[in-house]
Every structure is written in C-alpha cells, then in structure tokens.
Structure 1
Amino acid sequence: MQDDESQPDAGTAPAAAVRSQTDVVVGEIKAMIIRGDLQAGSRLPVEKELATALGVSRSSLREGVRALAVLGVLETRQGDGTYVTSLDASILLAPLGFLVDLQSPDESENLASVRRVLETEAAARAALRISDEDVRDAEGVLSSIDSFVDDPGSAGRDEIMDADIAFHRIIARASGNRALEALIEAFANRTIRTRTWRAITEQGVVPRTHREHHDILRAVRSGDPDRARLAMAVHLVEVEDFIVTHETVTPEAATPEA
C-alpha cells in the first residue's frame, strides 16, 4: 500500500488537481471554525489524522494550512503544532493592505476616497465613544510636533509624519470598531508617501494640517458625530485634491531622498 506522500497530487498530478485538494482543505477548515468544531486558539488535529478526516494527502493539507496561515487564520508553532489564531479583525484584514499596495497609481484617487469614507465614519463613532485616555494620547501626539510645525525642514519631517499616522490611528481606535480600525490601517498606508510628498512640496500644508488635526479632535471631544464626520472629511478631501492635481507622482517618486 502506498504512503499518502506518494499519492499522485504530491507533485506528479496536474496543477488543477493539487489546487482542488488545497481548496478542500481551506474550505473544510473554514467550515470547522464556523461550526465551532475549531475555535480561536484551538490546536488542529495532528497532520495524519486531519488529512485522513478531510480525505486529502498530507502534502495538500500542508498547502492548505500554509494558505490559511497567510490569511491569518492559522499559525504554525515550531515543534508544537498548528493553531487557529485569535481571528481578530486586525489579523484577518491585514492581507488587504497587501492588496491595496498592489493597486496601480491610477487607483490612488479611488483608494483615497475609500479611506475618507472609512475615517469619517470612524470619527463619528469616536465622538460617541472616545475615552479620556484616548484624548490625552491624541493631545500628546499633536503637542509633540509643535516645535516643527512652523518650520518643519528635513529634520522634523519624519516626526511630523509619525505624528500624523499616530493621530489617525488613535481616532480609528477610539471608534471602538476593530474591523473599521483594520480597514483604515490598510487604506491609510497607501497614502503615507503622498502625504509626505505633499508636506514637502505644498507651501503651508504642515501648519494647516496641524490645525485640522486639532479641529478634528475638538469635534470628536464635543460628542457630536456630525461635526466630527465633517471635520475629518474636510481634512481628507485636501489629500484627495492633491492626488488629483499630482497624478504623475508615483509612490517611488513620492519617497523623499535621505
């Protein structure tokens, strides 16, 4: 009797057959999680038993496990087996950032529009939920770059961009929606270089952006979702306008020289 490692799909069968078996693994493990047979933190059965239960070869099982690991559903611990992750939204949505990064420069305006939709909703939700700690964190981030705002120069450029990113993350976190927070992270990353290039090339944009961040924080602190949504929208529309008028700027060209 042949060992399952020597079955046709272990490397000799057509690629379609291998993909089919891998799809079976992905689909069945997903179904096991949905049914509750496997839960967050659960350890998968040993490889031989699971392959038999799913009716696939061990090589196909490994391929399926690797695919689910890339998606953040499973994690393999050396010498300890394979486990279901926490299934947290920030983990499961992380691959979306990779997809967003692969979009062509022609899609930059569309991606920025999606980011605006997400972040304006996050600001509105944050207006109803933001904690005193979140407010202090946001205030601390903004005050940390006060000395660079009027004269950013190359020395303060990294600090300004770090503060920009940190501020938007705090607002997203304060929304209380982990899925929304993860989506914002994926789309916001795509505009970081464009925002850096805008800060370098557009006169007065740094102090204006700083004021807008303070406006957003005041609106969020007011507890009025509509005001918070509007303040965030005004802020992000300016980034979209810059993208439209600088269509030839690629992510590589937008990277400042060291």
Structure 2
Amino acid sequence: MSVTDRAIEMIKEMIVSGRLSPGARLPKEDVLAERLGLSRNSLREAVRAMAAMRILDVRHGDGTYVSSLEPHLLLETLSFASDVSRGAAARQLLQVRRMVEPQATAAAAALIDDARLRELREILDRCAAAESVEEFVSLDNEFHHTIAATVGNPVLTMLLRVLSVRTHQVRVARGADTEAALQSAHREHESILRALRARDPQLAGAAAAVHVAAVEQWLGECDGQEE
C-alpha cells in the first residue's frame, strides 16, 4: 500500500469511527500530519484524492471539511466507471439497470401526480420533434431521470443516472445507425407513459423491463460492431 493510500485509509477510519463527523472541519494540515505520522505532502495528496471522491470538501481560504457523505453525492464518483466501461463491463452495468429501473418505474406509478405526467408528456413530445440524435438521447435520459425522481429517493435517482451514461455515449457515437433503435425507444417510452398514466405499477414495471432489455440488446450489438 502506498503512503497516500495509507493516509486515505487513516482519514477514512477517523470518519467511520465518528472522530470526524459529516460537515466537521479537519484539523490544520500540520497538526493532522503529525497526528497521523505523515508528511504534509502525503497528507495533501490524500486530501486531493478524497476530495475527488466527494468525501472531503476543500474550501480554499477556509479549510478542509468532511462532506455531507450523503450516498447520492458519493455515487457521483461512479460516473467515471460508467464513462469508460466497454464490452462486458458495460453490459454488467446495464444488467444492474435492468434489475433496478423496472422497480423504480413501478414505484413511480404509485406516486405520480398529474403535474409530473404532464412533464413527461412534454418531454416525449420534444423527443418526437428532436432534430438530432444528441437531442433525442438527452431527452431520453431526461425522461428516465424524471420518472426516477418521482420516487423521491436521491440515491436511486443518482444510481440510475450513472447507469445510463454509457448508453447515452454509445447512442451518440453510433449517429445515424441508431435511427431505428431510437424509433423503437420512443414507442417503448410511450408504453411506459401510458402505464404511468394508468397508475398501474405492475404494467409500468413490465413496460420499463421491456425497454431496458431492448436497450441492452442494442448496446450489445453496438459493442460487437466496435470490437
């Protein structure tokens, strides 16, 4: 284990043990370095790494604080894994999405109100009028994120946002080759919206499962062409 990794583990242990709570300010650099038996350079590297992981919040001119440590905040760091995933790794991420999104959509069907239904209708209307693949895919993501947000669980919303990144990137990269897939996606979105409007959790979950399975198959075909 490198000195920096050891420093990270030591600071994490302080947080896990409760010696540093969410929102707490870390001791001054020289004090903390001496307490942990580290050089100030090693401590700085550890702090930078933990700030990138959203565990610490460096406020220039004020000090370094433990972040809120809210799960949805920490999940943001997973977006990089989704960004760079290819082949089997990308399919594994989508498999997780297939397990989670139908349940989220079913939960949304039991909670959704008329205002949110109008919002989803407007998004799909914009999808139908989209003039580019990029615009369509952006609205596709907005549609799914809006449904997830209906559940009122920011952890769930962020997790599904992370899981959809790879699909977004490949769709844009494939350009015109995605036209048929995007048309199918729009039809599947309409099915999901009908189920939500009926406030039928079982039907909404099934419609979402069909949609994600189709996306998974399409993504596998795209990755196969790239290999």
TM class by shorter chain equals: 0.7 to 0.9
Using the TM superposition, give the Cα deviation of residue 202 of structure 1 relative to its aligned residue in structure 2, in angstroms: 5.3
In the alignment, residue 164 of structure 1 is paired with which amino acid?
Answer: D
Question: Would the alpha carbon gap of residues 191 and 146 (structure 1) be closer, same or farther in structure 2, given more than 3 Å must change?
Answer: closer
* Structure-2 residue corresponding to 1:237: 213
Letter in 2 for 1:50: L
Q: Deviations over 1:27-71 (max 9, x none)?
A: 232233233333332221111122222232222221221221121
Cα-to-partner distance string for 1:131-171 (whole Å, 9 max, x where unaligned): 444333222211223434xxxxxx33332222111101111
Partner of 1:40: 22
Q: State the TM-score, normalizing by the size of structure 1.
A: 0.76
Structure 2 residue 89 is the aligned partner of structure 1 residue 107: yes
Q: Which of 92, 96, 100 is the equivalent residue of 1:118? A: 100
1:6-45 paired onto structure 2 within 5 Å: 19=2, 21-45=3-27
Give the CA deviation at 1:197: 5.9
Is contact 1:42-1:83 (8 Å) kept? Answer: yes
Corresponding position of 1:93 = 75
Q: Structure 2 residue aligned with 1:219, among 168, 191, 195? A: 195
1:98-140 C-alpha deviation (Å, 9 max, x unpaired) = 1233333343333322222221122122223334443332222
**Aligned partners of 1:197, 1:44: CA distance in 2, in Å?**
44
8 A contact 1:89–1:182 mirrored in 2: no
Alignment match, 1:12? none
Greater radius of gyration (CA): 1
Q: Is contact 2:170-2:222 (8 Å) kept?
A: no
Shift of 1:24: 3.9
> 2:65 aligns to what SS in structure 1?
strand
Q: Which of the residues 81, 84, 91 maps onto 2:66?
A: 84
Is 1:59 the counterpart of 2:41? The answer is: yes
More helix by share: 2
1:248 is aligned with what amino acid? Answer: G
User: In the alignment, which residue of structure 1 is the partner of 2:149?
Assistant: 173
- The 1:210/1:95 distance shift into structure 2, 3 A limit, reads same
Counterpart AA for 1:188 = S
SS at match of 1:38: coil
Aligned to 2:137: 161
| Residue number among 121, 124, 137 corresponding to 1:142 in the alignment | 124
Q: Is the Cα–Cα contact under 8 Å of residues 125 and 176 in structure 1 kept in the other structure? A: no
- Alignment-derived partner of residue 162 in structure 2: 186
What percent of counterpart residues are identical? 38
Q: Displacement of 1:239 after TM fit?
A: 1.4
* Alignment check: 8 A CA contact 1:118 1:183 kept: no
Aligned partners of 1:100 and 1:145: how far apart in 2?
24
Task: Please give the alpha-carbon distance, in whole angstroms, between the structure 2 residues aligned to 1:31 and 1:221.
Answer: 48
Distance in 2, Cα, partners of 1:223 & 1:36: 44
Q: In the comparison of the two structures, how many residue pairs are matched?
A: 227
State how far apart, in whole Å, the 2-side matches of 1:53 and 1:221 are: 59
Native 8 Å contact 1:195 1:239 kept in 2: no
Shift of 1:204: 4.4
C-alpha RMSD over aligned residues: 2.6
- Name the aligned partner's letter for residue 218 of structure 1: R
